[in-house]
Structure 1
Amino acid sequence: MDARDELRFDGRVAVVTGGGRGLGREYALLLAARGARVVVNDVGTGIDGRGASPSPAHEVAEEIRGHGGEAVADVHDVSDAAGARASAGAAVERWGRLDVLVNNAGISILRPLGDLTDEECARVLATHAGGTLNMLRAVWPHMVDSRYGRIVNTCSDALFGDTGLSAYAAGKGAVLGLTTSSAAEGAGHGIKVNAVVPIAATRMSLEALDGDELTAALLADLFPARHVAAVVAFLAHASVPCTGELLHAAGRRVARIFLGATEGVVWEKNPTPEAIRDHLSEIRDTEAFRAPTSVSASMAYSFARLGVGGAEPLTLDLKSPVAGPERTGPAEG
């Protein structure tokens, strides 16, 4: 690779939440190695969100400085709105700007749906949904004022569903909605918002294996955290072309995850429950699909399928500042 083609962050300031361990540490180190000045935010909790320690954030900040980079540690809790504002403020106070946000802070409580306590649900949602929303709100005014911003949120394969992941998946579903919505809102301000869906050997993933040493060894070999960091750095760079998208970072494999809608069935008269039953296979057929880039694009297509065209809302919707043209194509395997 020609050094002139290297994706650099010289002059940029980044905040990485959950930056003291695992994936967050790799993100902070790589951004700093590429020239970014980094606020390493980490409360230092356990995997389940209990406890606190300033050590992880300070250790990573010191590691960055030891390699000649610039970094400060921040131990505010971003699940609290005031803590998120303080974390964003640390970047602006130290370096006078805030260009990049990586929302990585997360916890995991794996429990069957019926066994989850009220407190556990609140803790998981406060970290994933609340923390992401709080940080978005905290950095937004700075990025709008500068008419520039790159935000990378963290989603999960939990979106596809599995046993024991209800609260965690609910939080990540919220992150998905925050990613697409803030991407649409930021398009007119020079702000791009995407998300990474990582598979990596971390404290959280290894604990979920519950002592399965063989799978743990494979995970560590095939899915090192540094591979995910490369995807995050790309999404955080000024040159990233997309917004509102999810990139699946799974070892040496990188792919796109997206929401899609099938072509469906249109009835000449009002459908009945029996008609839905009899045509369900056609309704569910993923041979052809669309991936709207906004609510407006989705509604516009529904209007068009029903034979309505030229209505004022459609004209306005199609001019909305969204990520790009609607994607269509065959279903993914």
Structure 2
Amino acid sequence: MAKTADITSHSKELAMELTGKTVLITGAARGLGEAFAIELAKEGAEVFLVDVGSAVTAVAERINVSGGQAAAMVGSIVEYDFCREVVATLVSRFGKLDAVVNNAGLIHEAYFWEDDPEAMRALVEVNVLGTMYVGRAVGAHMKNHGGGVIVNVSSDGGGGMPQYSAYAASKGAISSLTYSWALDGDGHDIRVNAIAPFARTHMSLLTPTLAPNPPDPALIAPLVTYLVSDRSEGISGQVFRFTSTELGLLQHPRIKEPILKRDEWSASDIREAIDDDLSQHLELVSSLGWRPSRMQDPDQVGAE
């Protein structure tokens, strides 16, 4: 069980950071979601916590006992009616909705040719469809009530992960949603960003070889505080990679140079172009540095 947050011991300056703001956090029963909830409450926000299990109510209770303002609902974000009910209940309780942190997610390990179809469906429903449903519900409210902030939880694993293709695909989708929602929100005072965190959670415990020695989730929370706060005004459409000691940005997907042009291309032309002009520009197949076997030895590029 996480230690009870001593909200009243925070400095006055920090306690005023998010005073008056209301924040919805999904997947808030443990791990990053719990850490975000505690940190945002410390900073003065009223937090509304959602998760599928009753443990989320205990997190809300600990925040309230420590001097914060929190409420919780138990249910699944893969049901759109539940997402709408969450927004209605939050607004009824706190009077408004300023921000949402889309944190809920699943992970499992499997080679793609062995993956269980039901596990794949469940993961995509929570990680992608659930995020979309929450975004749909809160976005409609924000558009009609002066704007707001959305923070999605993505991963640099969206660039490719061996034996975690379903998870990687879902996180790639979250980054894409972030870019798209930021474009939609431009002009409506809706800012949308994402974080790609590295932290000790139940997910990282399932991937020890990919995520050795992860930091405490509480060390990731300040980035969410910044993105929810007015200090990040004007920042939208970004995916921030944060490890608690290193902060950076994931590069937006784009067509890279060189772009080769012909009036007409044959298969032989394409092979020649890839083996020659494009060979030194082939991409890593993951942010962790894996390359296809044909790319391991530069002398093998273009070989039969």
TM-score by length of 2: 0.82
Letter in 1 for 2:270: I
What is residue 4 of structure 2 aligned with on the other side? none
Letter in 2 for 1:228: I
Q: Cα deviation per residue 1:277-309 (whole Å; 9 max; x = unaligned)?
A: 22335446569xxxxxxxxxxxxxxxxxxxxxx
Q: Show structure 1 runs of 5+ residues with no match.
A: 45-53, 288-333
Residues 71/3 of structure 1: CA separation in 2 closer, same or farther (3 Å cut): closer
Paired residues of 1:263 and 1:283 also in contact (CA < 8 A): no
Residues 3/70 of structure 1: CA separation in 2 closer, same or farther (3 Å cut): closer
What is residue 160 of structure 1 aligned with on the other side? 159
What is residue 143 of structure 1 aligned with on the other side? 142
Q: How does 1:266-281 map to 2 (within 5 A)?
A: 266-280=260-274
Shift of 1:3: 6.8
Q: Cα deviation per residue 1:105-146 (whole Å; 9 max; x = unaligned)?
A: 011121221222221111000000111000001111211112
More moved, 276-285 vs 132-141: 276-285
Q: Show structure 2 runs of 5+ residues with no match.
A: 1-10, 283-304
Paired residues of 1:265 and 1:282 also in contact (CA < 8 A): no
Does 1:243 find its partner at 2:236?
yes
What is residue 327 of structure 1 aligned with on the other side? none
User: Across the two proteins, how many residue pairs are aligned to each other?
Assistant: 269
Paired residues of 1:17 and 1:24 also in contact (CA < 8 A): yes
Shift of 1:239: 2.7
**Which secondary structure state, in structure 2, belongs to the residue aligned with residue 40 of structure 1?**
strand
More moved, 191-200 vs 236-245: 236-245
Shift of 1:270: 2.5
Residues 65/284 of structure 1: CA separation in 2 closer, same or farther (3 Å cut): farther
More moved, 242-251 vs 3-12: 3-12
What is residue 121 of structure 2 aligned with on the other side? 122
Shift of 1:5: 8.4
For 1:27, which of 17, 36, 40 is the aligned residue? 36
Q: Cα deviation per residue 1:26-63 (whole Å; 9 max; x = unaligned)?
A: 1001111111100011112xxxxxxxxx1x21111011
Does 1:253 find its partner at 2:246?
yes
Paired residues of 2:26 and 2:104 also in contact (CA < 8 A): yes
Does 1:224 find its partner at 2:223?
no
Shift of 1:7: 7.4
Partners of 1:85 and 1:77 in 2: CA distance? 11
Shift of 1:249: 1.1
TM-score by length of 1: 0.75
**Which secondary structure state, in structure 2, belongs to the residue aligned with residue 188 of structure 1?**
coil
Paired residues of 2:25 and 2:37 also in contact (CA < 8 A): yes
Residues 92/34 of structure 1: CA separation in 2 closer, same or farther (3 Å cut): same
Paired residues of 1:76 and 1:87 also in contact (CA < 8 A): no
What is residue 290 of structure 2 aligned with on the other side? none
What is residue 291 of structure 2 aligned with on the other side? none
Partners of 1:87 and 1:27 in 2: CA distance? 18
Aligned CA-pair RMSD: 2.3
